[in-house]
Amino acid sequence: MKEFLVRVVVEPKPELLDPQGQAVERALVELGLKNVSQTRVGKCITFRLKAISASQARQRVTEIAQKFLANPVIERFSVEVEEL
Amino acid sequence: MKEFLVRVVVEPKPELLDPQGQAVERALVELGLKNVSQTRVGKCITFRLKAISASQARQRVTEIAQKFLANPVIERFSVEVEEL
């Protein structure tokens, strides 16, 4: 068994409005960061996971993220797996 | 000017309790994902930024994240910059 650092990023779908992202974008511009666009605010779930391989870890996490971590009606997610 | 995809991940500091992370970890275990540990739930702010270079983009975002995106008393953050 190897140990992996897994990160699941859950964001509002691109076609949906993200009021929190819009508020952050306005604030970034006011703070002097020009040329900002497409700001989205999401959740980030990070954990360590023991698994046989990176592909097995990714597959198991993806199955669970689909059911539990993301709401597929309004959110999309990505899974990142890095060996420790 | 080049365009970069910037992601700021804001998480509770490792030395602090993260009740939301603990709740997610229990749920992951109940859903069959054994060998999970150190689960943390954070915010993830993603945006596009035009800048001269990746290092300039990273420096400007780090300055603003310190002041505005993270609460340094209870949170830590990391900045990822990827050229588009």
Over the stretch A58-74, which tens digit does the pLDDT of each residue have?
Answer: 999 999 999 889 999 99
DSSP sequence for A12-70: E-TTS--HHHHHHHHHHHHTT--SEEEEEEEEEEEEEEEES-HHHHHHHHHHHIIIII-
What is the domain-level CATH number for residue B11?
3.30.1280.10
Give the integer Cα–Cα distance in Å for A51 and A59.
11
Residue ranges making up the domain that contains B54? 2-83
- Measured between alpha carbons, how far is A30 from A5 in angstroms, rounded to an integer? 35
| CA–CA distance, A57 with A73 (Å, rounded to integer) | 25
On whether any CB of chain A is under 8 Å from the CB of B51, the answer is yes
Decide if B42 and A43 are in contact by the 8 Å CB cutoff. yes
pLDDT value at B75 more than 90: yes
Q: What is the ipTM of this complex?
A: 0.88
Q: Which residue has the higher pLDDT, B39 or A34?
A: B39
Give the integer Cα–Cα distance in Å for B58 and B65.
Answer: 10
> What confidence category does residue A34 fall into, taking pLDDT thresholds of 50, 70 and 90?
confident
Would you say B52 and B29 are in contact if contact means Cβ atoms under 8 Å apart? no
Number of domains observed in the structure of chain A: 1
A22 near B CB under 8 A: no
Does the beta carbon of B1 lie under 8 angstroms from any beta carbon of chain A?
yes
Which tokens is B13 given? 């500091």
pLDDT of B74 > 90? The answer is yes
Residue B67 has pLDDT above 90, yes or no: no
Amino acid identity, position B25: E
pLDDT at B34: 86
